[in-house]
Amino acid sequence: MILVTGAAGKTGRAILRALAGSGEPTRALIRRSEQSSGVKALGAREAVVGDLRKRESLGRAIDGVRVVYLICPNVSPDEVEIGRSIIGACRQAGVERVVYHSVLHPQIEAMPHHWSKLRVEELLLASNLDFTILQPAAYMQNVLAQRRSIVEEGVYPVPYAASTRLGMIDLADVAEVAARVLTEQGHERATYELASDEVLTQSEVAEHLSRVLARPVRVEEVLREEWEAQARLRGVPDFSINCLLAMFRYYERCGFWGNGRVLAALLGRPAVAFGTFAREALSAEM
């Protein structure tokens, strides 16, 4: 049995989908009972409602599990404590291996949520558990958060300079690698950087979108003060807002990308290019 935590989220759903044809039974840890039917439709054999922050939830979720795929809540102030709790629970329950969904370049202290993931990686190194760490770059799917604006208004809004350079990857590629790592031998105590050799400015992203939609799409640089005000209206917690603002500042100052060789080797093919992703994702609007 493979346990996938955070299974109802964007990443968790992709992992379940990728595991569906593997023949390995999966258990989905979800936060709300109404999410059960959705994760089972994606291939989960079982769904368990629980909270990674509560030890009793972990006990129920981990019982009888061989491997845990650990996805922590997005931009969580509790990531280190969650990591410590689940590592302890895995050791107590005799879980064979933990696959941790970390992030590309977790050693960047200027991005606090990255730094927290590095601390969890450190806990795994000291745990005596078998583990694999996946460090994915930013998802191409994040661009689709602005889908309505892109398609209806021809505007791609970003909270950093249009010249900001990012190397994005397709979440489906990450999920394919995760499924292999979860079901194959030979990945124990490995740390895999999942990145792409394709590095694009936000203006170049807009150019790809323009070609796919066959109509102009322009970048709009959103003032971070405006982004913050909208985030607060949506009820985004202060910790998340502060982490994301720090991330935006870092992206603009330094860019964010890695090397694509490891991802391509694990896939056995080149990573999906942004133009290909955009064409498939926006085909209904073409």
- Report pLDDT digits (tens) over 111-132: 999 999 999 999 999 999 999 9
User: CB 155: neighbour CB atoms within 10 A?
Assistant: 17
Question: Exposed, middle or buried: residue 196 (CB in 10 Å: 0-12, 13-18, 19+)?
Answer: buried
Nearest to 169 by CA among 44, 63, 256, 42: 256
Residue 60 is predicted with a pLDDT of 87
Mean pLDDT for the chain?
95
Residue 59 is predicted with a pLDDT of 85
3-state SS class at 266: helix
> What are the residues whose beta carbons fall under 8 Å from the beta carbon of 6, sequence distance 6 or more?
12, 29, 52, 71, 72, 73
Side-chain-side CA neighbours of 107 within 13 Å: the count stands at: 2
pLDDT of the chain, 286 residues: tens digit per residue: 999 999 999 999 999 999 998 889 999 999 999 999 999 999 999 999 998 888 777 888 999 999 999 999 999 999 999 999 999 999 999 999 999 999 999 999 999 999 999 999 999 999 999 999 999 999 999 999 999 999 999 999 999 999 999 999 999 999 999 999 999 999 999 999 999 999 999 999 999 999 999 999 999 999 999 999 999 999 999 999 999 999 999 999 999 999 999 999 999 999 999 999 999 999 866 5
Show me where the domains of the chain are located. 2-137+170-194
DSSP state of 271: P
Strand partners, 48: 29
The answer to whether the beta carbons of residues 200 and 166 sit under 8 Å apart is yes
Nearest to 86 by CA among 71, 75, 76: 71
Which tokens sit at 134?
């996946």
| Runs of H (alpha helix) within the chain | 10-19, 36-41, 55-62, 79-93, 112-125, 147-148, 171-183, 202-213, 224-233, 238-254, 261-267, 274-281
User: What homologous superfamily is domain 2-137+170-194 in, according to CATH?
Assistant: NAD(P)-binding Rossmann-like Domain (3.40.50.720)
Which tokens sit at 77?
């102030």
